[in-house]
Amino acid sequence: MSRLIITFVTCFVLDNLLVIFLPIQPIVGHYMIIPNVFLICLALFTFYDKGIRPIIFACIFGLLYDICYTDLIGLYTCLFPIITFILLRFISQTMPVNLLSMMALVMGVVVFEEWFVYFIVNTMKTTNMSVMIFIKFILIPTAIFNTLITIPLYPILKSQFRKYQRQFLNEF
């Protein structure tokens, strides 16, 4: 279990480190790329644990995400468990676990998450960004970047979650 917590904390911190250390913004001009490494980790975890643990991790790290990275307390605390529930209930039961399906899943989850955040921020009138600007300069680059980040992350996370799954099954 400690290995699992370390994996989630590492992915959580990596979200911020990618923003700080990758020179994404100056290279691509006005485009804004938002790394979602933790969300990739959480989405993949739902395929290896079908119990309540993914939702618990989503709640805890959603609250931490709100405290550390956003101004709206409660946004990610609600959003991450909703995404996790949808993945657990509908998608992880039927979808195969391989690199291409995970890349497609990550693209879908990131698009859902970014649309939800944009909708909430736009509803609260804290942004004046139009939908077309949001799609062109934030949504598409973010979805592509996170899908590409899945390629090196997938084997690492898969091996960690398989070890956890084997350990968890041996306990019972």
Residue 16 sits at the vertex; the CA angle it makes with 100 and 117, to the nearest 5 degrees, is 70
| Mean pLDDT, residues 35-64 taken together | 94
| Mean pLDDT, residues 5-21 taken together | 91
Task: Output b/e per residue, 55-80; b: 16+ Cβ within 10 A.
Answer: bebbbebbbbbbeeeeeeeebbbbbb
Q: Structural domain boundaries of the chain?
A: 2-171
CA–CA separation, 115 vs 96, rounded Å?
25
Q: What's residue 172's pLDDT?
A: 58
Three state DSSP letters for 72-123? CCCHHHHHHHHHHHHHHHHHCCCCCCCHHHHHHHHHHHHHHHHHHHHHHHHH
Average pLDDT, the chain: 90
CA–CA separation, 154 vs 137, rounded Å?
26
Q: Give the domain 2-171 fold.
A: Arp2/3 complex 21 kDa subunit ARPC3 (1.10.1760)
- Asked whether the beta carbons of 75 and 117 are under 8 A apart, the reply is yes
Q: What's residue 25's pLDDT?
A: 60
Residue predicted with more confidence, 75 or 19 = 75
pLDDT tens, position by position, 153-170: 999 999 999 998 888 767
- Asked whether the beta carbons of 33 and 15 are under 8 A apart, the reply is no
